[in-house]
Structures are given as C-alpha cells and as structure tokens.
Amino acid sequence: MKKLLFLTGTRADFGKLKPLIQTVDGDPNYDVTVFVTGMHTLSKYGYTVDEVKKANFKTTKIHIYMNQVLNEPMDITLANTINGLSRYVHEEKPDMVIIHGDRVEALAGAIVGAMQNILVAHIEGGELSGTIDEMIRHSTSKMAHLHFVANVDAQNRLKQLGEIDSSIFVIGSPDIDMMYSQSLPDLPKVQSHYNIPFDQYGIVLFHPVTTEIDTLLTHATHLVDALIASNRNYVVIYPNNDLGSHFIFEAYQKLENNPKFKIFPSIRFEYFLTLLKNAHYIIGNSSAGIREAPAFGVPAINIGTRQHNRFSHEAIINCNYERTAILEAFEKRDELRITQSSQHFGDGKSAQRFKAILDSQITWNTLRQKQFKDQ
C-alpha cells in the first residue's frame, strides 16, 4: 500500500485536486490523506475546511494545520507551512506528496518532500501565472519529481526548465473533469442554497497583484465604481489572501447593502462551476476567466496585468484598470458572439489518466536524485 499525501491551501486548488483524490479514495492500494491548511483555515474566507469535509471521501483522512493568521506575509506563511508539514511528514512518512499550482503551500510541499527524499508530484506546473505566483510555480516544479500538466504548452515550458521528458505527463486540468461531468448541481439549487435572486448576473473575482501594491486600492476602486455604474447584477466572491487583499475589501465596502450585489467569502467549487456556466460573464483578474470560462464558452472581462501572457481565446476581453476602460469592456461583451468553447486545458479525463500513471510501477521507480536535461 502506497501512502499519498495531498496538500491543499485554497478553495481553488482543492477544486482541482478533488477529482484526483476521488479516483484513489477507497482503493485498497492507497492510503490517502489530505493535509488542509492556508486559506481553508481562515474564518474570514469562509473556513473552507468544511468544504473539504463535505467531500465525503470514503477512506481518505483529513489533517488540518493552521499555517497563518490574517494578513501574515507570504514568506512567513511559507516558513510556517514548511515547519508544520515537515513534522507531519517526518512522522507519517508518505510515499508521495501531491501538490497543485503556484501558492506558497505548494512550494512548501515541494521543499519538504524533496528534502525528506519523498516523491513530489506537481499538478499544473509549466503554466504562466503572472506576478509572484509564476516564480513560485516554476520554483515548485524544480523541486518536484513528477509533473502532471494540462497541455503540451506546459510540457514544453518544463522542458525549458530542464525537466526530463519521462517525468512529464500531459493529463489535462482536473477541474475540467468536474466541469464536463453530469454531477454538477443545477442552477436553481445553487441559487436557493446561496440565496441568489438574480436570473441574469456576472461573477466578480478580483485578486491582489502583489507587485502593484501601491496602486491596488485605486485599481479596486475603479472596478467597484464601474460595477455600480453598469447597473447590473453581480455575485462577488472574496479575493485570495495575498498581500494587499485588505485594499480590495476596503473598496468593496461601497457594495454593502446594494441589492444588485451578493457577496460571499467563498462558494463551494461545484456550485461555483454551475454559477459560472450560467453567468453572462465573469469579470476581474482570476484564472477562472482564462481557463474555466472559455471551456464553458462564457465571456470573461480580464482586467489588468495579473493574467499577462496567459491563454488567449475569443471569449476573453482584456482591458486596463481604468473605470472607462472597464465600462467599454461591458459594451464589447454585449456585442460578443462566441463561436466555440475551448478544450485547451483538458477533455474531462484527467483523473483517469492520473490514476493509470500512479498504478504503474515505473512511476514509483522514479529517481529522487533529479537531473537537469540540457536542451
């Protein structure tokens, strides 16, 4: 029996890891634990530890570790995560640590696994993130032994980083599995659960850009002013907990008691996908507008630099932070006619590919001593 340790720090990465956890949950060949930390443990963001528990895994265990207090710097959060995870791994001795994406928790998982001679599997390396996240993602990839990527573009970037071909597996993005499944709740159920009265609405997801901290409040204020001026209905979801999130919360104070806005700390991932699938558009700077929205054929208004150089699609409208530019983007969205959805990030079969690779003995023979492959 192999011991697998999945590490999740945010509502977003859990949505991507969940299909992978489900495919090994209950399998007698695997002893599975989810190490839950990060934003999940903060009450301001909805204490989404509860969402992990509500996944109702059959045999998978859940371990909770609080790695931060509100607004703690990212480097301290990284250090705290390494400290707590290292002690847990030293005691439990998993055979593989499985991490996702570009957050500091993922980097901590890669460091701990590599330093303790444990296989590290990185989900969705090789992506372009923008801001500090991109450096975290590529650093995480260099500490990982196995790479499960969304597409050939990501595979090629990892090769540029010197990763060997046999360590990279193109499986697609696991959240696409959930998007294309028949198990998503219907819209009336989601609207009833969250008391959302709108028949037509946009989704707002705006995160801090840590390298633009000096102008972040101005940018968030422009967005809020444009949303109000548009006179449309919105489902607003809190930003992540990166440096500067308090500026976004400050700007959002203007939305309080406005009947056209429903504001939530977090929304369960499957429910979020249903809301996105039925939204008129998503606006902000979240990767959901770059990855998930085009897969549904839903328009995305992408603001600013956070998603710079990432995937481009006819459903994505880019604009700068100015109020007038955002209002002009609304007009472009009203005129937009999308001819086809995107499958750039997967076809809905990521989890079964992941499981097949785990089941191969070749995977477990992967050398812990990494080598750099010159191109």
Domain range for residue 150? 2-177+347-364
Confidence band of 375 (pLDDT split at 50, 70, 90): confident
Give the three-state DSSP class for 190: helix
Does the global pTM surpass 0.75? yes
Residues 99 and 152 in one domain: yes
**Cα 307–chain centre separation:** 13
* pLDDT tens digits, 44-81: 999 999 999 999 999 999 999 999 998 899 999 999 99
CA atoms within 13 Å, Cβ hemisphere of 153: 13
Same domain, 216 and 310: yes
pLDDT tens, 117-152?
A: 999 999 999 998 777 889 999 999 999 999 999 999
So what's the pLDDT on residue 129?
A: 78
**Contact yes or no for 21/60 (Cβ under 8 A):** yes
116 and 220 together in one domain: no
d(CA 235, CA 196): 8
Looking at the fold, whether 196 and 165 belong to one and the same domain comes out as no
Statement to judge: residues 286 and 143 lie in one domain: no
Nearest to 368 by CA among 158, 86, 143, 148: 143
Please report whether residue 138 resides in a domain: yes
354 and 331, same domain (yes or no): no
Could you tell me if 54 and 164 lie in one domain? yes
pLDDT 10s digits, 313-358: 999 999 999 999 999 999 999 898 888 888 889 999 999 999 999 9
In a domain, 375, yes or no: no
Residue 342, domain member (yes or no): no
What rounded mean pLDDT belongs to the chain? 96
| CATH number for the domain harbouring residue 206 | 3.40.50.2000
pLDDT at 308: 85
Please check whether residues 131 and 156 belong to one and the same domain. Answer: yes
Q: Do 352 and 248 belong together in one domain? A: no
Counted domains in the chain: 2
Tell me how far apart the alpha carbons of residues 182 and 114 are, in angstroms, rounded to a whole number.
Answer: 38
Residue 338 burial by Cβ neighbours in a 10 Å radius (0-12, 13-18, 19+) = middle
CA distances from 227 to 209, 217, 218, 290, 300 (A): 20, 15, 14, 20, 14
Nearest of 88, 52, 53, 46 to residue 67 by alpha carbon = 88
Whether residue 171 is found in the same domain as residue 27: yes
